Amino acid sequence: MLDDIFCNVRKGLIHIIACSQSPAELSSGVLSNSSNKIVSLLTSGKDREAMQRNMGVFDNEERGYFPKLNQSEFEVIVEFAKRARPFVARILKKDLLEPMSKKELYENNEIIMQGFSNPVLRGREKPEEKKQEISNDERKWLMAAYLNQFKKTVTEIHKIAGFSACKGTKIVKSCGSRNIMTVASIVRGKGVSKFAVLSDEAYSKLNLKPYNFRGKGCDYPHYIYQNLIAEHFKDFKPIIESNKGGKFIDIAIEHESRLIAVEVAMTSVNEKNNLFKDFKIAGAGNVIIACKDKKVKEEVMQIIAELPEEMRHKTNACLLSEILKRDLPELINQNKNQGE
């Protein structure tokens, strides 16, 4: 594994610093791919022999330097790729700059890694990618998922496609392992529901137009919540991401000449700002906040309690499972009671 890593990083121009107290145990592949070497005092004759052989030091006088390095003076033997022969050097003490934080290191590495091409093992032919074709059963299941994406759970799609739970699960695992689809889990009441999200590769293999995501948010669960709520209130012709005066509403519903704004709350962080914009900018008559879980609902309820009276009586916070069990008039009528 280390051999392949050292070969690959050179292809990608990635720099690695490898440290070992027992260089004799390193493979020849690791040592030969390390262009710059710094050797301090080695007490083991086996380790000295390994490094002398790898650095091409065969002269007895030169070999005699390895066990005589002055540790108090920070003496080392150095081999650089651009120099013909190894040499004895002394490491000088120098105050260094402040080290980067873990966050800074991570962000810096991410920026660097984005510019790398896929590495190819040195000295080997590039392996041909074996693309596994989609089977008829997989095609049938994926088509059912495509037509019900974000609306039906994985279990419901098994039935729509005409498969047993066991066979359907195998298909999901097979497609997931090949990145043909992703399974997103969301909390619904006391349980967790799983929804299938098709990848670009699936659309390409099935010759289908990519699904038009009707919604915004940081992840798939937010999209799914929006579509589930819109599907539940489909008789009221809901609009996902409706722009009202410059304020985008997660699900907007026109009911009895009033605008009903339904906001999906994955956290409570932006809900106070959302509420004021829904009422003041979008002109909402009522706002219903669909909360991801009980914790978010409790936090949103506290925000509602601190709203001005005219807004508090028009705002309701519910769990997603509660919203999907009730009709719209019931939820609107509950606003006043909850505000009080």
User: 283 lies in a domain?
Assistant: yes
CATH label of the domain that carries residue 68: 3.40.50.300
Tell me what pLDDT residue 305 has: 92
Each of the 340 residues of the chain gets a pLDDT tens digit; together they read 777 777 777 666 777 888 888 888 888 777 777 878 899 988 888 888 888 888 888 888 888 888 888 888 889 998 887 666 888 888 887 776 777 788 888 887 777 777 666 655 555 555 555 556 888 999 999 999 988 877 788 999 999 999 999 999 999 999 888 888 888 777 666 677 888 888 888 888 888 887 665 444 445 678 788 888 888 899 999 998 889 988 889 999 999 889 999 999 888 888 999 899 999 999 999 999 998 888 999 999 999 999 998 899 899 999 888 888 888 888 887 655 444 4
User: 121 lies in a domain?
Assistant: no
CB 76 within 8 A of CB 91: yes
**Residues with Cβ within 8 Å of residue 236, at least 6 apart in sequence:** 253, 254, 255, 328
Overall number of domains in the chain: 3
Query: In the listed set 72, 99, 114, which residue is the last one of a domain according to the structure?
Result: 114
CB 275 within 8 A of CB 307: yes
Cα 111 → chain centroid: 16
Residues 106, 50 share a domain: yes
Tell me what pLDDT residue 340 has: 47
User: 130 lies in a domain?
Assistant: no
Residues 229, 178 share a domain: no
Residues 274, 241 share a domain: yes
User: 100 lies in a domain?
Assistant: yes
User: 316 lies in a domain?
Assistant: yes
Residues 228, 332 share a domain: yes
Quote the CA–CA distance of 106 and 27 in Å, as a whole number.
29
Tell me what pLDDT residue 288 has: 94
Q: Which two tokens stand for residue 136?
A: 């008829």
CATH label of the domain that carries residue 249: 3.40.91.30
Residues 149, 99 share a domain: no
User: Locate tokens 């004759």: which residue?
Assistant: 45
User: 198 lies in a domain?
Assistant: yes
| Residue numbers of the domain that contains 25 | 2-114
Tell me what pLDDT residue 289 has: 94
CATH label of the domain that carries residue 162: 1.10.10.10
pLDDT in tens, 90-127: 888 777 677 778 888 888 777 777 766 665 555 555 55
Quote the CA–CA distance of 87 and 38 in Å, as a whole number.
10
Query: In the listed set 183, 212, 241, which residue is the last one of a domain according to the structure?
Result: 212
Tell me what pLDDT residue 39 has: 92
76-97 as b/e: b if 16+ CB within 10 A? bbbbeeeeeebeeeeeeeeeee
Residues 228, 333 share a domain: yes
User: 123 lies in a domain?
Assistant: no
Tell me what pLDDT residue 218 has: 47
User: 66 lies in a domain?
Assistant: yes
Label each residue of the chain as H, E or C: CHHHHHHHHHHCCCCCCCCCCCHHHCCHHHHHCCCCEEECCCCCHHHHHHHHHHHCCCCHHHHCCHHHCCCCCCEEEEECCCCCCCEEEECCCCCCCCCCCHHHHHHHHHHHHHCCCCCCCCCCCCCCCCCCCCCHHHHHHHHHHHHCCCCCCHHHHHHHHCCCHHHHHHHHHHHHHCCCEEEEEEEECCEEEEEEEECHHHHHHHCCCCCCCCCCCCCHHHHHHHHHHHHHCHHHCCEEEEEECCEEEEEEEEECCEEEEEEEECCCCCHHHHHHHHHHCCCCCEEEEEECCHHHHHHHHHHHHCCCHHHHCCEEEEEHHHHCCCCHHHHHHHHHHHHC
Query: In the listed set 153, 177, 212, which residue is the last one of a domain according to the structure?
Result: 212
